[in-house]
């Protein structure tokens, strides 16, 4: 009996995580609370069992995440007894940066990309796990599993280290770091299927429920707190919606849906005709936008 493709993917991810634990001095797991992070954390729990994962979790909090995400995060870290680091770009907070006032690009740059770089430098992490997958986007499809970053956190797509077999070169000089993507070879369907098979907890925002929403630039935005600027006389409407990805709530479009169970969600995901990133305002800018962001240090 040879392994099924999910078993192979799982084994590959575990191998990658153990390699980091064995070779890197100060690794961290970027935990963003979404479904991919949930799977990544689950894999880490498996990789090191009965030990706990030998690295902390880091959440870069833009202060605009869904409230439920934050609750979910804190609960999970407590239940599992894992160290959770939360980093907020205080400069951005002082400046009052937010997506409504400053636009998505500036907000994401300051509160996410810059914040991430701050945190990585502050704690001097030499390796950071990310839950990104190659099937998400064209420039991700080009990235190595162990992705080298300069001391300025820059990615040089034209000069990546050859990466053969499952032998990973983790050697870096002082100040440099690696981003490590243990789930590079998973697809969106693999993720859902694995969540289904392994009964992995994900925030209920993924499931359809009645939520107060408004429409902005063709996107359905959930009114998660009182920071959403409403037109005079505008009232949020209750709609049955869910989210295909989770991020900053003002930048994450909801989809109208009746999917209240995991099989429902998977069914809907499979039958949809648009990619999951479509709901993210950040990816629309231009074909090469992700590559550019990644070069600048975006995860």
Question: Which residues contribute to the site for other proteins (CB under 8 A)?
Answer: 1-8, 10-12, 14-15, 18-19, 21-22, 45-52, 134-135, 137-142, 157-158, 160-167, 169, 171-173, 184-185, 187, 189, 193, 196-197, 263-264, 266-267, 270-275, 278, 287-288, 291-292
Backbone angles phi, psi at 87, to 5 degrees: -120, 130
The Cβ of residue 277 has, within 10 Å, a number of other Cβ atoms equal to 15
Q: How far is the CB of 68 from other proteins (least distance, A)?
A: 26
Radius of gyration (Cα) for the chain, nearest Å? 19
Q: Which is nearer to other proteins, 54 or 212 (CB)?
A: 54
Q: Which is nearer to other proteins, 6 or 105 (CB)?
A: 6
Distance between CA 183 and CA 134 in Å, rounded?
8
Q: Which is nearer to other proteins, 70 or 255 (CB)?
A: 255
Q: How far is the CB of 106 from other proteins (least distance, A)?
A: 22
Residue pair 282/105 in contact (Cβ under 8 Å)? The answer is yes
Q: Which is nearer to other proteins, 89 or 257 (CB)?
A: 257
Q: How far is the CB of 125 from other proteins (least distance, A)?
A: 17
Distance between CA 277 and CA 139 in Å, rounded?
13
Q: How far is the CB of 51 from other proteins (least distance, A)?
A: 4
- The tokens of 258 are what? 């009746």
Report the Cα 125 to chain-centroid distance in Å.
Answer: 18
Closest CA to 213 of 61, 66, 94, 1: 66
Residue pair 249/216 in contact (Cβ under 8 Å)? The answer is no
Q: How far is the CB of 205 from other proteins (least distance, A)?
A: 21
Q: Which is nearer to other proteins, 89 or 177 (CB)?
A: 177
Query: What one-character DSSP code corresponds to residue 4?
Result: P
Q: Which is nearer to other proteins, 121 or 169 (CB)?
A: 169
Q: How far is the CB of 99 from other proteins (least distance, A)?
A: 21
């Amino acid at each position: 009996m040879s392994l099924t493709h999910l078993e192979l993917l799982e084994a590959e991810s575990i191998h990658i995580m153990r390699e980091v634990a064995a070779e890197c001095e100060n690794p961290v797991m970027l935990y963003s609370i979404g479904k991919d992070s949930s799977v990544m954390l689950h894999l880490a729990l498996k990789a090191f069992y009965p030990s706990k994962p030998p690295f902390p979790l880091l959440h870069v909090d833009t202060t605009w995440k869904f409230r439920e995400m934050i609750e979910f995060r804190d609960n999970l870290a407590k239940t599992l007894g894992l160290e959770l680091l939360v980093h907020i770009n205080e400069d951005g907070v002082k400046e009052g940066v937010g997506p409504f006032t400053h636009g998505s690009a500036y907000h994401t740059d300051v509160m996410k990309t810059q914040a991430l770089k701050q945190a990585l430098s502050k704690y001097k992490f030499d390796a950071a796990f990310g839950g990104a997958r190659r099937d998400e986007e064209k420039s991700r499809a080009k990235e190595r599993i162990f992705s080298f970053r300069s001391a300025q956190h820059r990615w040089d797509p034209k000069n990546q280290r050859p990466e053969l077999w499952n032998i990973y070169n983790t050697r870096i000089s002082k100040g440099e770091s690696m981003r490590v993507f243990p789930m590079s070879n998973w697809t969106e369907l693999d993720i859902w299927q694995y969540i289904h098979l392994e009964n992995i907890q994900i925030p209920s925002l993924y499931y359809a429920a009645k939520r107060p929403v408004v429409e902005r630039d063709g996107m359905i935005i959930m009114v998660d707190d009182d920071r959403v600027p409403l037109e005079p006389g505008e009232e949020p409407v209750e709609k049955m919606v869910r989210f295909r990805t989770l991020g900053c709530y003002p930048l994450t479009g909801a989809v109208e849906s009746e999917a209240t169970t995991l099989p429902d969600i998977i069914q809907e995901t499979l039958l949809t005709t648009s990619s999951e990133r479509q709901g993210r305002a950040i990816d629309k800018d231009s074909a090469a936008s992700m590559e550019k962001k990644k070069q600048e240090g975006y995860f």
